[in-house]
């Protein structure tokens, strides 16, 4: 790699970025991952399944360690363990307060069982230890064409599946009782969504690492949902924000000596914080506006473009 130099000329900077094949691969992979995470994460946040998402994300660690031990490609392990974890979590689903507390314990147990196994694999196969940080925190260097193509394939499968079940899934997520009454197969959708989540996470964690997939899955959708309550626009916004975070993080980390994961999580956190503050400010304005209307004030409210 030539010395990366950052100048004020943005066009030149982007040119420099795109001059390297590895950077082009990273950008393509990052774009695919961001679109997928933006959509899948949006449903995950809506369904309050962040803990399940985090747990499935972490499962790629035992997957990779186990695959190394068994001598099969890492991706096989990723998809296998993420899928198993999704099924194990889906089995424990339940409604009501009692079900919720039971579910959270079950997810926690699934997570540590996987991690403990991963640690066992790691210590049995001493060679992986150097890669521990990469497994957990990812790398964007050394992504090859095949990986980009595989990612693209997985993304298409995931997005097509979500398009097919999107509307019933939305109803089942927002109001399970009504959905059941209308004949929507809520239980099957619960399972199906967890499997989709597992697939998306397994693909994503190969780039961002087991611990940081989650940042991309949760921050942009949470920000989007804080900004607008309407499903369509907020889903689009979620994808846009995820893309923004990914591209900026990749750009910055090219010119920096520090790891991609730090920039992805920090930008994600920043986006979430800004969205929350905007949402709070707007809620306060609405409340104040109502209060003055109630008092019979005829003063026109200042209209601030959001």
Task: Using the minimum distance from each CB to another protein, give the nearer residue, 86 or 110.
Answer: 110
Contact 264/27 with Cβ under 8 angstroms?
no
Which one of residues 7, 9, 21, 101 is an interface residue with another protein (CB under 8 A)? 101
Q: Which residue has the tokens 């000329």?
A: 9
CB of 160 to another protein, least distance (A): 27
C-beta contacts of 190-194 below 8 A and 24+ residues apart: 190/90, 190/93, 191/87, 191/90, 192/161, 192/165, 193/43, 193/47, 193/49, 193/165, 193/169, 194/49, 194/52, 194/56, 194/86, 194/87, 194/89, 194/90
Distance CA 81, CA 59 (A): 6
**Neighbour-count burial of 50, counting CB atoms closer than 10 A to its CB (0-12 exposed, 13-18 middle, 19+ buried):** middle
The answer to whether residue 123 forms part of the interface with another protein (CB under 8 A) is yes
The answer to whether residue 85 forms part of the interface with another protein (CB under 8 A) is no
Task: Using the minimum distance from each CB to another protein, give the nearer residue, 184 or 246.
Answer: 246
The answer to whether residue 287 forms part of the interface with another protein (CB under 8 A) is no
The answer to whether residue 70 forms part of the interface with another protein (CB under 8 A) is no
Task: Using the minimum distance from each CB to another protein, give the nearer residue, 72 or 124.
Answer: 124
CB of 304 to another protein, least distance (A): 26
- Scanning residues 252 to 271, which ones bind another protein (CB under 8 A)? 257-259, 261-266, 268-269
Which one of residues 33, 59, 179, 211 is an interface residue with another protein (CB under 8 A)? 211
Distance CA 54, CA 61 (A): 12
The answer to whether residue 155 forms part of the interface with another protein (CB under 8 A) is no
Contact 275/60 with Cβ under 8 angstroms?
no
The answer to whether residue 201 forms part of the interface with another protein (CB under 8 A) is no
Tell me how far apart the 2 most distant CA atoms of the chain are, in Å: 76
Which one of residues 17, 26, 54, 238 is an interface residue with another protein (CB under 8 A)? 54
Cα–Cα nearest to 235, from 51, 57, 35, 52? 35
Which one of residues 29, 34, 107, 151 is an interface residue with another protein (CB under 8 A)? 107
Tell whether the torsion through CA atoms of 192, 197, 203 and 206 is positive or negative. negative
Helix or strand holding residue 210 (H, E): none
CB of 49 to another protein, least distance (A): 8
The answer to whether residue 94 forms part of the interface with another protein (CB under 8 A) is no
The answer to whether residue 134 forms part of the interface with another protein (CB under 8 A) is no
- Scanning residues 215 to 244, which ones bind another protein (CB under 8 A)? 215, 218-219, 222
Interacting residue ranges for another protein, rule: CB under 8 A: 45, 48, 50-51, 53-54, 58, 97, 100-102, 104-109, 111-113, 115-117, 119-120, 123-124, 129-130, 132-133, 136-137, 211-212, 214-215, 218-219, 222, 257-259, 261-266, 268-269, 272
């Amino acid at each position: 790699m030539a010395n990366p130099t950052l100048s004020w000329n943005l066009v030149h900077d982007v040119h420099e970025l795109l001059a390297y094949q590895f950077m082009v691969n990273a950008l393509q992979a990052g774009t695919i991952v961001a679109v997928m995470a933006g959509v899948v994460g949006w449903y995950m946040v809506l369904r309050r399944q962040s803990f399940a998402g985090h747990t499935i994300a972490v499962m790629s660690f035992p997957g990779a360690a186990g695959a190394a031990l068994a001598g099969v490609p890492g991706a096989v392990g990723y998809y296998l363990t993420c899928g198993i974890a999704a099924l194990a979590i889906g089995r424990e689903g339940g409604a009501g307060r009692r079900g919720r507390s039971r579910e959270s314990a079950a997810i926690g147990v699934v997570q540590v069982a996987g991690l403990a196994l991963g640690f066992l694999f790691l210590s049995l196969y001493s060679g992986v230890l150097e890669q521990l940080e990469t497994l957990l925190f990812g790398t964007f260097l050394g992504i090859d064409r095949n990986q980009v193509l595989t990612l693209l394939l997985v993304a298409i499968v995931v997005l097509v599946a979500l398009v097919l079940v999107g509307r019933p899934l939305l109803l089942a997520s927002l109001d399970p009782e009504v959905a059941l009454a209308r004949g929507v197969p809520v239980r099957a959708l619960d399972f199906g969504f967890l499997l989709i989540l597992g697939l998306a996470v397994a693909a994503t964690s190969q780039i961002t690492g087991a611990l940081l997939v989650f940042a991309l899955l949760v921050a942009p959708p949470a920000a989007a949902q804080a900004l607008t309550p309407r499903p369509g626009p907020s889903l689009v916004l979620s994808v846009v924000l995820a893309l923004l975070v990914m591209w900026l993080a990749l750009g910055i980390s090219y010119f920096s000596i520090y790891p991609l994961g730090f920039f992805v999580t920090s930008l994600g956190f920043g986006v979430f914080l800004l969205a929350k503050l905007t949402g709070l400010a707007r809620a306060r304005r609405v409340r104040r506006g109502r209060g003055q209307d109630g008092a019979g004030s005829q003063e026109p409210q200042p209209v601030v473009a959001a």
